[in-house]
Amino acid sequence: MTRQANWFANDLDEIPRRVAEELEAAAIKPGRPLLAVDADEVLVHFARHFGAWLESLGYAFRLTEYRLDTAIRGPRGEALTRAEIQPLVWDFIEAETRRQPAVDGAAETLARLSREAQVVVVTNAPAKVRACRVANLAGLGMDYPVVMNEGGKGRALRWLADRAAAPLAFVDDSADQHASVARHAAEAARVHLVGCETLRPIVGRAESADHHVEDWRAAEETIRRALGL
């Protein structure tokens, strides 16, 4: 979601071994169109859910910019340090990843697209909550291969593009990730989608994306054109 919670969008020199193994396990079939899609703020809500969780603990949460360290206030209205915020983020991820609510239209749209294209979820959530992420998505009707990426997603998309050897589309809310994919897999149709309405004006425009949409209805039309469906 944010630069702090994006789990480092900086490009790595190579794909980590664990990520490579998960890409291989996704069993991508050559010659069939492929859709690679992010999870947080694209398939499931992060900021909205995180805010409600914080408020249940007595904290205040108000996003005014694309970062967490200015958004959280303590029970007495005091600003929190990064050292105080990071444990809250990790506690939320470990406790709530399995319960994140779906973005409107995501499951239904992927179900339709998956009849004609392959779908793989490429998420930068921490690897230790992989089982929670998989269970959450499956419980929401989005039971697709999941790759717990590290750093920029460009190298993972390069791997997927080479394996599929077919039209490829990529959906993410992060401008940094669109830039990474533009560097390493420029042929991918890059679709910028932020599923949370209140977050869209804060996130702003991803300049490296090819397409900018506000919801999954518009995303489906764009993805179909990009994949030739």
In tens digits, the chain (229 residues) has pLDDT values of: 433 444 445 666 689 999 999 999 999 999 999 999 999 999 999 999 999 999 999 998 888 777 776 788 888 888 888 888 889 999 999 999 999 999 999 999 999 999 999 999 999 999 999 999 999 999 999 999 999 999 999 999 999 999 999 999 999 999 999 999 999 999 999 999 999 988 888 888 999 999 999 999 999 999 999 999 9
Model pLDDT, residue 4: 40
> Which of 35, 46, 34, 43 has the alpha carbon at shortest distance from 7?
46
User: Bridge partners of 149?
Assistant: none
Model pLDDT, residue 108: 98
Model pLDDT, residue 3: 39
Q: Tell me how far apart the alpha carbons of residues 180 and 64 are, in angstroms, rounded to a whole number.
A: 25
Residues 168, 34: contact at Cβ < 8 Å? yes
Query: Can you identify the CATH homologous superfamily of domain 17-45+100-227?
Result: HAD superfamily/HAD-like (3.40.50.1000)
Model pLDDT, residue 2: 38
Burial zone of 77 (CB within 10 Å; 0-12 exposed, 13-18 middle, 19+ buried) = exposed
Domain ranges of the chain: 17-45+100-227, 47-99
Where do we find the tokens 């949460």? 61
Tokens of 167: 């039209």
Model pLDDT, residue 74: 86
> Which of 72, 68, 2, 71 has the alpha carbon at shortest distance from 40?
2
